[in-house]
A and B are shown apart, each in its own frame.
Chain A
């Protein structure tokens, strides 16, 4: 194959700017360095407990807002056995840098769909596994594992969000409410 496609060259002005950016990124305390610290500190998604209890109470199909954002449930498949589901619960924790006050934890998860998409993209879930959890050895740190489409946000009767593979009908089929703003 052509080892130099198009014989194109790196723009010198942009190269110099990237060089300066990288210098700043590596230096402690610069805004560019801070960008990474913030990212690292606030995005610790804890995916835990492959099978967790769900308080559904056999809710009839309805539409509800998410009122408890302290954790969410990511389902590996549309299945609910009593109070158990195949999948994982997710909690978001904020890290504190040295000298800073300890932040309030857990951090509310505002976008349950995005959080579960990230969990899928890291291959944490496996719809074919009984527990819904993928083999940890298959963890994909590049976030490149395919995410099912569609995913729908349902609401448990304790007010938490549950993100389940399937369209909007999936909530009712499991006796859950559909998240209010899911309806267009």
Chain B
């Protein structure tokens, strides 16, 4: 909506949004909607909730419009971080935007999540375990995995986006992956101290 000719960058569109250009805001929504939606699906239970969360992410963008951080002229990273926060603080976000969100069309019927889980687990049990493990992670772990792994952003981009050194990005990612692996394999969580070898066992 609203664009003709050459494709505007996120930065150009956002400047227009700041000037009150609603069509530029709609263009940004359409550009990033699916990536934000897919990320929200990882964090909430139903696609309906993920759609609401996606809408709230863009409303947050408007509320925080003077503080949006664009990396390489893209606002996707900021949107994904905000999506993590919105999904984790769903109650507060919903309260803040309840009056706006309730005007959106309601689903014909709310899908029964348990049916969906059963189907999907049959389809891909390991993927479901991973999904659940991901939801159990802390905010910072979810954030770093979303940016570095799921969205394939470079260490430098994530560093610029989060305002932390590249070394910190790498160590945070490494720890997040470890925690994810532990959640996927809970039996590995509490490993006993390795028993020192007896002198005989040490002999070749």
Q: Which residues in B have their C-beta under 8 angstroms from that of A183? A: none
Query: When the two chains form their complex, are residues A144 and B41 in contact, meaning their CB atoms are under 8 A apart?
Result: no
Query: When the two chains form their complex, are residues B47 and A15 in contact, meaning their CB atoms are under 8 A apart?
Result: no
Query: When the two chains form their complex, are residues B105 and A6 in contact, meaning their CB atoms are under 8 A apart?
Result: no
User: Whole-angstrom distance between the alpha carbons of A4 and B40 in the complex?
Assistant: 11
> Known: A1-B150, A18-B55. Contact between A23 and B26, CB under 8 A?
yes
Q: Which residues in A have their C-beta under 8 angstroms from that of B26? A: 19-20, 22-23
Stretch at the interface among A32-40, A45-53, A102-110, A127-135: A32-40
Number of A-B contacts (CB under 8 A): 108
List which B74-125 residues lie within 8 A (CB) of chain A.
Answer: 85, 88-89, 92, 96, 99-100, 103-105, 107, 116, 120, 124
Query: When the two chains form their complex, are residues B63 and A21 in contact, meaning their CB atoms are under 8 A apart?
Result: no
User: Whole-angstrom distance between the alpha carbons of A18 and B104 in the complex?
Assistant: 7
Query: When the two chains form their complex, are residues B25 and A22 in contact, meaning their CB atoms are under 8 A apart?
Result: yes
Considering only CB atoms and an 8 Å cut-off, how many residues of chain A contact the other chain? 34
Which chain B residue has the least Cβ–Cβ distance from A22?
B25
Stretch at the interface among B4-12, B29-37, B154-162, B193-201: B29-37
Q: Quick one: CB contact mask for A147-179 with B, threshold 8 Å, 1 for yes?
A: 000000000000000000000000000000000
**Contact among A3, A27, A32 for B38, CB-based, below 8 A:** A3
User: Whole-angstrom distance between the alpha carbons of A35 and B63 in the complex?
Assistant: 10
List which A66-96 residues lie within 8 A (CB) of chain B.
Answer: none
Q: Which residues in A have their C-beta under 8 angstroms from that of B150? A: 1, 3
Which residues of A line the B interface, CB within 8 A?
1-6, 8-11, 13-15, 17-28, 32, 35-36, 39-40, 141-144
**Given A6-B116, A19-B30, 8 further pairs, Cβ under 8 A:** A1-B42, A2-B124, A4-B38, A11-B105, A15-B33, A15-B51, A22-B58, A25-B25
